[in-house]
């Protein structure tokens, strides 16, 4: 231990002090080099181990090093003060806002992924389409009363009349089922299609939107049966809503499927019991919730798509994305329009 060690401490301390910009770092520097248990103090304490002739020189250099470091400390403190007078370096920075996908977009991706596990390919079709694909080819002839259920928007030409072509009037797709015959017309069998798209109806209220989303599944192959339909919807429901959720096909009537069903799932709130803590469940009817329509593709629809109904059969289903999404537990939305009010307080929860 000698004066060289003291000079080395000075050199290292000055080096360590370079670039210090905030008060906390200054404090740490002070503790490390000048504090009671700092490196300089510890070195100076070793003076007792020196010979009497070495001590005066050691003491002199020690004092010089101490003065130098103290001077450096004062300089650092004043520079930090002047910098922090303008800018508080310890203040948290402004984090750039990073958004996320809308709940509907998240759900669309999830639905697409679940069906891709079953080999269903997502395809896109026009959202401004002809009456033929929206209705007529789906076994709903012109002026058929069943069409009234689809409160359809028609496209007007520049004279204000409904635009008409070889395939009838032009409409905004009132459901995703226009995909069915369009896909069959591509002429490739078998078909495993999922069509997720915007749909348009003249309706608005707590449970209805004029623009909403549907997803439509279509499977056409030889020997497709109701058992396959049940299997496909069951797979989706268990993946989307949870393993414990049951499905039920309830007879219904649609023009483009035969037979037709409404698909119900066991209520995710009361777990299918119909009661919550002794009272009636307010969400479901007797333990079941209606998800949407399904059925076996009507032979007339297969024929319209150029598919031989004697050789092939198919299953189809079409459900609302928003409806499916809000049925899932944890998402409690009483007015469906809340989804599209751009209320960040609401959207950031998802």
Where along the sequence are the contacts to Zn ion (CB under 5 A)? 267, 269-270, 281, 283-284
Nearer to Zn ion, 43 or 269 (CB): 269
Instruction: Give me the least distance between CB of 268 and Zn ion, in Å please.
Output: 8
Cβ at position 241, least distance to Zn ion in Å: 13
Contact between 318 and 199 under an 8 Å Cβ cutoff? The reply is no
Q: For 292, how many CA atoms within 13 A lie in the half-sphere containing its CB? A: 21
Q: CA nearest 214: which of 237, 198, 233, 192? A: 198
CB of residue 326 to Zn ion, shortest distance in Å: 14
Half-sphere exposure of 200 (CA within 13 A, CB side): 13
User: For residues 108 and 267, which CB has a smaller minimum distance to Zn ion in the complex?
Assistant: 267
d(CA 263, CA 230): 9
Residue number, 189 or 269, with CB nearest to Zn ion: 269
| 70 three-state secondary structure | helix
Contacts of 150 (CB under 8 A, 6+ apart): 134, 135, 174, 175, 201
Q: Which is nearer to Zn ion, 191 or 327 (CB)?
A: 327
Q: Which stretch of DSSP H or E encloses residue 78?
A: helix 55-86
Surface-to-core class of residue 309, CB atoms within 10 Å of its CB (0-12 exposed, 13-18 middle, 19+ buried): middle
Least Å from the CB of residue 283 to Zn ion: 5
Instruction: Compare residues 286 and 306 and give the one whose CB is closer to Zn ion.
Output: 286
- Shortest CB 244 distance to Zn ion, Å: 13
91 exposure class (CB count in 10 Å sphere: 0-12, 13-18, 19+)? exposed
CB of 104 to Zn ion, least distance (A): 24
Q: Which is nearer to Zn ion, 13 or 267 (CB)?
A: 267
Give 44 or 284: the residue with its C-beta nearer to Zn ion.
284
From the CB of 248, what's the least distance to Zn ion, in Å?
14
| Tokens at 59, concatenated | 């003491």
* Residue in the structure block whose two tokens are 């059925």: 295
Nearer to Zn ion, 19 or 279 (CB): 279
Q: Where are the beta strands (DSSP E) in the chain?
A: 121-122, 128-130, 164-165, 168-172, 191-200, 211-221, 247-254, 257-266, 275-276, 279-280, 288-297, 313-320
26 and 20 Cβ atoms separated by less than 8 Å? yes
Nearest distance, CB of residue 325 and Zn ion, angstroms:
18
The backbone torsions φ and ψ at residue 208, rounded to the nearest 5 degrees and listed phi first, read -140, 140
Q: How many CA atoms lie within 13 A of 22 on its CB side?
A: 7
Our CB check for Zn ion shows the closer of 35 and 274 to be 274
| Minimum separation from the CB atom of position 270 to Zn ion (A) | 3
């Amino acid at each position: 231990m000698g004066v060289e060690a003291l000079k080395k401490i000075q050199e290292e301390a000055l080096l360590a002090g370079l670039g210090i910009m905030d008060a906390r770092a200054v404090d740490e520097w002070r503790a490390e080099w000048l504090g009671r248990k700092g490196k300089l103090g510890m070195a100076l304490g070793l003076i007792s181990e020196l010979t009497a002739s070495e001590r005066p020189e050691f003491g002199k250099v020690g004092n010089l090093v101490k003065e130098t470091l103290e001077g450096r400390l004062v300089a650092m403190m004043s520079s930090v003060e002047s910098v922090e007078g303008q800018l508080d370096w310890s203040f948290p920075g402004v984090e750039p806002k990073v958004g996320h996908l809308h709940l509907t977009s998240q759900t669309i991706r999830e639905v697409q992924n679940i069906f891709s596990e079953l080999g269903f390919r997502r395809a896109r079709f026009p959202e401004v389409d002809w009456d033929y694909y929206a209705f007529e080819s789906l076994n709903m002839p012109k002026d058929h009363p069943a069409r009234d259920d689809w409160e359809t928007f028609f496209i007007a030409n520049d004279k204000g009349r409904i635009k008409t072509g070889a395939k009838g009037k032009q409409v905004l797709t009132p459901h995703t089922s226009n995909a069915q015959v369009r896909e069959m017309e591509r002429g490739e069998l078998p078909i495993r299609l999922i069509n997720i798209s915007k749909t348009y109806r003249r309706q608005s209220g707590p449970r209805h939107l004029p623009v909403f989303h549907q997803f439509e599944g279509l499977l056409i192959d030889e020997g497709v049966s109701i058992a396959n339909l049940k299997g496909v919807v069951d797979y989706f429901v268990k993946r989307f809503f949870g393993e414990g959720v049951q499905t039920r096909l309830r007879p219904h009537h649609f023009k483009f499927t035969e037979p037709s069903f409404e698909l119900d799932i066991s209520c995710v709130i009361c777990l299918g019991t119909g009661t919550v803590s002794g009272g009636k469940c307010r969400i479901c009817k007797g333990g079941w919730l209606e998800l949407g329509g399904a059925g076996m593709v009507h032979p007339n629809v297969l024929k319209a798509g150029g598919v031989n109904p004697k050789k092939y059969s198919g299953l189809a289903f079409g459900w609302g994305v928003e409806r499916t999404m809000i049925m899932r537990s944890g998402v409690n939305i009483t007015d469906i329009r809340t989804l599209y009010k751009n209320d960040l307080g609401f959207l950031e929860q998802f």
